Structure 1
Amino acid sequence: MPRLDDDTVRGLAVAERVCVRPIMSKLTDTLTGDTRTVLIPCGSTREAVCPSCADRARRLRMQQCREGWHLTVEPLINTNDDDDTQDDTGPEDDDTDTDGDGDDSGSRRVRSTRRRDDADDLPRPPKQHTTLGREFDTPDGKTYRPSMFLTLTMPSYGRVTREGVPVDPGSYDYHRAALDALHFPKVVDRFWQNMRRATGVPVQYFAAVEPQRRLAPHLHAAVRGTFPRALIRQVVAATYHQVWWPRHDEPVYVDRVPVWDEQTAGYRDPDTGQVLPTWDDALDQLDAEVDPEPAHVVRFGTQIDMQGILVGTPAADRRVGYLTKYLTKNISDDPNDDEPSAARRAHIDRIAEEVRWLPCSPTCANWLRYGIQPKNARAGLAPGLCRSKAHDRDHLGLGGRRVLVSRKWTGKTLTEHKADRAAVVRTVLADAGVEMDDHGEFSATATRPDGQPRYHWSTVKPGDTDAPSYLRLIAHAITRRQAWREQYEAAKNRAGPPTPDLSATVPQAAPAA
């Protein structure tokens, strides 16, 4: 029998959906003294890092999207829940235009709420206190409650080829493209706020941020219910986000950088020794202008796609798959896994170079390049070395979340959705009389008779001589996964069709308000 190498075992692990880069932990039973090595999945959402964990995360998002899209009753909402996977856009009536400097002290600079002269006013109908879509009755007595699939894009920065690279790289507006990518989450938030104001409905959505072929961000969204297409176009045209930051069009320090001064706890000019303006000083100068202008204004493009979707149709399943199809890839990855051409690599390099030097937040070290001390400045900052992932080549300015889910989409967190999936498996196995492994046997809450924790966990460090080999542990995990799958498939065949609407967290939905 040929000896298995790392690549072969990795391929088998991917085929069986076993984590290929697990965290090795040593588990010690303080009651018996036994020790063992346990593999903890890495939990990566990127296919290039761990295809198995990324696929598992994608399937969980598919369930979340499908479950909330066509609800017929209002979901139960846990008002005490603070899970970061339910990222609603905030108060529906938040008309305040702020600098967005993320001041933890609670104070923020508030600007006029008057809309720009080049943006139309939106209607303000009475509020409706339901998240459910409108029902339509047909002459033959049938009732439909359709929903929508919406796609929003960014404006043009120059002509591109079919491959998505500029026809003329010299005239392509890379600077504006990079700024739009860095502030894309803000204009998306503003769009959902405007939709809620213009419709009077607390619009619910499951959205994914993806790159187009030209690598500009765009938004795909499953929207509960339907709304007039003309109104959606009006909202898109009237949506914008103003970046009230100091100007950062022209760099001040290119070949030299400001130096840190311990006495003033700030940065100085390396030649003159003059202290650079602080973040608050720069904003004060902006406020003092007679007719101040934002540093940048982000808008959507004119290309909008709106589709009506009915529950239970093949179109609905295809859209759920399309929404989550590219979540496992980096922004700069080719969607078809093709080797990029020289022109495309050069296009990626130009965007990456722009986002590397532009500031991503008030605390970004890149403000030093423009002669301004970043907010909460400290020693050791250097332009071009900000740690935010927005500056990475893999993200190309999109450092925020790739999945945006409104709080009332399902009323559940991802942890609760994961529990629902596990509940289905447990129910199928129990109905078939299959005895399940006790996955909670090594729980951190287990105690000894004296009340002390029974199990002690510690990380296995590289070079530990008593740790099992990677190949041995992965091979064992593959064998165990194969056994579980065989048990589950046999149980499904014996148990028959699964029971619908199994949930480990919500016994029933709440009636509509």
Structure 2
Amino acid sequence: MTLGEEVGRELRAVRGARLLTREVAEQVAITNGVCIRPIPYRRVDSLTGVAEVVSVPCGATLESKCPPCAKRGRQVRRAQCREGWHLEAEPVAPAEASEHQRSLIEARAHLELQRDEAVHAGVDTAELDAVIDAVDREIQAAGMVGAVAGRSGGGRVRSTRRRQDAPDLPRRLRCDTTLGRTFTGSDGKVFRPSMFVTLTLPSYGRVRDGVPVDPGGYDYRRAARDALHFSKLIDRFVQNLRRVAGFDVQYFASVEPQRRLAPHLHIAIRGTLPRAELRQIVAATYHQVWWPAVDEVRFEGDRLPVWSAEIGGYVDSDTGEVLPTWDEALDRLDADQEADPLHVVRFGVQFDAQGVLVGSRDADQRVRYLTKYLTKSLGEDLGDDAGPRANAGRRAHAARLVEALRFEPCSPGCANWLRYGVQPKGAKSGMVPGRCRSKAHRAEHLGYAGRRVLVSRKWSGRTMGEHKRDRRAWVLEALGLDEGAADSCRFVWLRVAAGDPEAGSAALRLLREVARKQRWRAELERLRARADAAGGDGLGLGVRVCA
């Protein structure tokens, strides 16, 4: 090698080792707990007219997207879980509805009545539906959450009778309370225990270190369908739990992947039930999927249905036959009294329930465990590193599961229905089987498209947003800052367009937020030291800062 070639190689190595300023800024931001993907907004003070560009955290919940925001979200979830688990008094009842909220609901009711009359008269309801949708958006904007009054959505009920292979459950008279029973010890001390329950899906084949021993005999199709409908099974479990318990059971639950990549549920329950009854509830819980059959593949490869603009639907490219719509397919299913559900999902035999007491070390451990994996996607390898061979086996196992999910319908609107000769609900041009955009088909979700955290409405009496605002308000109060948070109408927020010179570069915005966070932390440390010197913690500075 000549001297020139050696010098050139060293220069290329130096250039390759260089880091971009944005990369270094992100590393510094992560170290300081600052969002690495801040969204610039122009905040205009309606009182003074002053406008400034403010960086708003992205709020990502996964570490792969933004580690600081994901960590902050997990801390808030832990606080929410801890606060509601062992309440000794009923959560604060919701405030009285305002006059504006009442008027919106009344208007919604009158619109629904008009729609029913129009349907009976055979009048087109498209314009009325648009008005109803606009009122629904106003209802949400007015601070009302949950389902609005009105249409049921045209849902179908196949049968209300329980399956013959599912045991019946006892029912207790319902008490209007969210608190569990108390128990008095021999020393007169009163205990109010709660529970930590773990539920899993059944076996699909023998596994070792999370990898099927016999991949060919592993029931990937059933595993895929169970994952797709796992959220519905959880809903059924909660319904049965409340029927048997006799009180309004409140819960905080998280969905996590097992090493075999099947989702399972950890659930903190306020109050207790006998383990024998819980076992009965688990055995009696199931969810039936009443969808058209997918046993026969009608279209695949190059032969796929084509979109017809004339009829606004899909037709057979060879025969010109119009594929049945989703509603027509369900009508045929309803007419067949001998039909079986497409799938029935149940929990497996593995079941664990433990009693937990407030203030115990075990309670803190369970809270951390419930939120341990919330910052990771279901498809991430959460097991210990068992060597290259085992890791390769897990990757191959995940790939086979994703392939099983590829053509499995995930919802009524899934493009995969075209493969089985049915038009998806709300069909539109460009739909291709095997290319559904739902997150259920993505490798990082492994079939489960539901929420990772499930919290009942009366768990702590506050929403996630209220918990976040409380923590931020605590920091601002401790620092003696006033950002006008008390007056929600004072500021007007406008999204800053990409390339706006006033916002500056992304790296510069990160550096500003890092400096701001370091200044806040230094001031909080000073206040903590002053409180310690005074012999107390009057400012509550023992709380971890995550503003």
TM tier relative to shorter chain: 0.7 to 0.9
Find 1:416's aligned residue among 466, 480, 499: 466
Post-superposition shift, 1:445?
3.2
Matches within 5 A, 1:16-415: 16-27=32-43, 36-78=52-94, 106-162=153-209, 164-255=210-301, 256-335=303-382, 341-415=391-465
**2:128 maps to what in 1?**
none
- TM superposition shift of 1:346: 1.2
Instruction: Give distance in 2, aligned partners of 1:458 and 1:421.
Output: 25
Secondary structure class of the residue paired with 2:216: coil
Cα gap change, 1:357 to 1:439, in 2 (>3 Å): farther
Higher helix share: 2
Residues 53 and 502, structure 2, Cα contact 8 Å, conserved in 1: no
**Range that drifts further, 54-63 or 25-34:** 25-34
- Pair 1:459-2:459 in alignment: no
Give CA-to-partner distance per residue, 1:297-317, whole Å, 9 cap, x none: 000001011111111111111
Q: TM-score, normalised by structure 1?
A: 0.85
1:426-445 C-alpha deviation (Å, 9 max, x unpaired): 45x2xxxx53252659x883
Q: 1:483 aligns with which of 519, 522, 527?
A: 519
**Contact 2:287–2:345 under 8 Å retained in 1:** yes
Partners of 1:86 and 1:413 within 8 A in 2: no
Following TM superposition, by how much is the alpha carbon of 1:191 offset from its aligned partner in structure 2, in angstroms? Answer: 0.4
Q: For residue 314 of structure 1, what is the amino acid of its counterpart?
A: R
Q: What is the DSSP-based 3-state SS (H/G/I as helix, E as strand, rest coil) of the residue aligned with 1:13?
A: helix
Hey, what's the Cα distance between the residues in 2 that align with 1:418 and 1:444? 15
In 1: Cα distance, 2:510 partner to 2:421 partner: 52
Q: Secondary structure at the match of 2:466?
A: helix
Task: Report if aligned partners of 1:125, 1:199 keep a CA contact under 8 Å in 2.
Answer: yes
Distance in 1 between residues matched to 2:502 and 2:472, nearest whole Å: 34
Deviation at 1:477, TM superposition (A): 1.0
Change (3 A) 1:366 1:195: same
Q: 1:287 to 1:313 in 2, by over 3 A?
A: same
With 178-187 and 368-377 compared, the bigger mean Cα shift is at 368-377
> TM-score when scaled to structure 2?
0.80
| Cα distance per residue 1:81-131 (max 9 Å; x no partner) | 99899999x9xxxxxxxxxxxx96643222221110100000011112211
Contact 2:496 2:503 in 1 (8 A): no
Question: How far apart in 2 are the matches of 1:34 and 1:494?
Answer: 35
Q: Distance in 2 between matches of 1:31 and 1:423?
A: 22
The answer to whether the 8 A contact 1:37-1:467 is kept is yes
Aligned-residue offset at 1:497: 2.3
Output the aligned Cα RMSD.
2.9
- Contact kept? 1:87, 1:405, Cα under 8 Å: no
Distance (whole Å) between structure 2 residues aligned to residue 13 and residue 336 of structure 1: 28
Change (3 A) 1:227 1:264: same
Structure 2 counterpart of 1:471, one-letter code: A
SS of alignment partner, residue 248 of structure 1: coil
Kept in 2: contact 1:151–1:305 (CA 8 A): yes
Q: 1:104–1:341: structure 2 CA closer, same or farther, 3 Å change rule? A: farther
Residues 161, 423 of structure 1: CA spacing in aligned structure 2 closer, same or farther, 3 A cutoff? same
Secondary structure at 1:111's aligned position in 2?
A: coil
Q: What is the distance in 2 between the residues matched to 1:144 and 1:29? A: 52
Q: CA deviation at 1:486?
A: 1.4
TM-aligned CA distance change 1:265 to 1:486, over 3 Å? same
The one-character-per-residue Cα deviations of 1:359-392 (angstroms, maximum 9, x if unpaired) are: 1111111111111011122222221222221111
Find the aligned partners of 2:338 and 2:315 in 1 and give their Cα distance.
29
Q: Residues of 2 paired with 1:236 and 1:86: CA distance?
A: 33
Worse-matched range after superposition: 65-74 or 329-338: 329-338
Paired AA for residue 283 in structure 1 = L
Q: Residue in 1 aligned with 2:134?
A: none
1:249 deviates by 3.3
How far has the Cα of 1:465 moved from its partner? 5.0
Aligned counterparts of 2:275 and 2:312: Cα–Cα separation in 1: 55
Deviations, residues 117-146 of structure 1 (Å, cap 9, x unaligned): 100000011112211121111111211111
- Decide whether aligned partners of structure 1 residues 3 and 179 sit closer, same or farther in structure 2, where only a CA change above 3 A counts: closer
Deviates more, 1:255-264 or 1:230-239: 255-264
Corresponding residue for residue 483 of structure 2: 438
Distance in 1 between the 2:31 and 2:200 partners? 36
Contact 2:47 2:490 in 1 (8 A): no
CA contact (8 A) 1:77 1:412 kept: no
Distance 1:336 1:171, change over 3 A: closer
Aligned length, in residue pairs: 472
* Structure 2 counterpart of 1:497, from 537, 540, 544: 537
Distance 1:380 1:14, change over 3 A: same
The question of whether the paired residues in 2 share the 8 Å contact of 1:129 and 1:201 is answered with yes
Alpha-carbon distance change, 144 to 294 in structure 1, aligned in 2, over 3 angstroms: same
Structure 2 portions without partners, runs of 5+ = 1-17, 102-138, 543-547
The residue type equivalent to 1:438 in the other structure is E
Alignment check: 8 A CA contact 2:78 2:371 kept = yes
Name the SS of the counterpart of 2:314 in structure 1: strand
**Distance of 1:269 and 1:341 partners within structure 2:** 44
Contact 2:476 2:482 (8 Å CA) reproduced: no
Give unmatched runs, 5+ long, in structure 1.
Answer: 91-102, 448-454, 503-513
Q: Is the 8 A contact 1:268 1:274 kept in 2?
A: yes
Q: Equivalent pairs: percent with the same residue?
A: 54
Is contact 2:259-2:383 (8 Å) kept? no
Per the TM alignment, residue 469 of structure 1 is displaced from its structure 2 partner at its CA by 2.3
Larger CA Rg, structure 1 vs 2: 2
Equivalent position SS for 2:393: helix
Kindly provide the CA deviation profile for residues 267-321 of structure 1, in whole angstroms up to 9, marking residues without a partner as x.
1111111111111221122122231210000000010111111111111111101
